[in-house]
């Protein structure tokens, strides 16, 4: 297999990605939303079961109602994507599979100049009700999407030294 992407360029891209919580009041074109969804669709999943559903949310009232104490910025995003796991399709792996989806989507968004932030603190019961989900569905996250307000990329957060978090077994 030939190199599809120069490895150092990919590593730099990964290092530059940030969690963004402040967005411009500018709608994201449908083509870019579709690219983000496609990136999620191509995430790996156990036995290729693809135990997920994506819900695109542009309704301001729903975004405001999903927004909580730790995710109050969600209501200011022009659009968000709820990533829903389907436990019946892959009982042991749906959380991991949908987490892989979320990372693919976040990376695609960043490549398009769109910021997002992975939300873990959600009232999942409330989100299920607002999105009219099946009681057995699992709300992994709701990814807010928006162009960076101010245009400046925040400084990177601290990362532990690689030598302190890795070891080798020969």
Give pLDDT tens digits for 29-71. Answer: 999 999 999 999 999 999 999 999 999 999 999 999 999 767 8
Name the helix (H) or strand (E) containing 80.
strand 79-85
**Cβ neighbours for 116, distance < 8 A, ≥ 6 positions apart:** 19, 20, 105, 106, 109, 110, 143, 144, 145, 146
Tell me the domain boundaries of the chain.
Answer: 27-149
Q: Is 154 left (phi over 0), alpha (psi -120 to 50) or beta?
A: beta
Q: Which CATH number fits domain 27-149: 1.25.60.10, 3.40.109.10, 3.90.190.10, 1.20.1250.20?
A: 3.40.109.10
pTM of the model: 0.94
């Amino acid at each position: 297999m030939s190199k599809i992407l120069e490895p150092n360029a990919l590593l730099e891209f990964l290092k530059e990605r940030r969690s963004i919580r402040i967005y411009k009041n500018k709608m994201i074109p449908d083509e870019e939303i579709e690219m983000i969804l496609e990136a999620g669709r191509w995430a790996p999943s156990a036995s290729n079961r693809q135990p997920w559903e994506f819900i695109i949310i542009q309704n301001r009232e729903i975004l405001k109602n999903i927004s909580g104490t730790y995710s109050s910025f969600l209501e200011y995003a022009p659009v968000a994507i709820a990533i829903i796991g389907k436990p019946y399709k892959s009982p042991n792996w749906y959380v991991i599979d949908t987490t892989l989806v979320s990372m693919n989507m976040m990376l695609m968004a960043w490549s398009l100049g769109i910021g997002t932030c992975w939300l873990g603190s959600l009232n999942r019961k409330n989100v299920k009700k607002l999105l009219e989900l099946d009681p057995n569905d699992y709300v992994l996250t709701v990814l807010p999407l928006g162009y960076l307000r101010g245009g400046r990329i925040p400084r990177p957060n601290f990362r532990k030294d690689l030598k302190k978090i890795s070891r080798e077994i020969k």
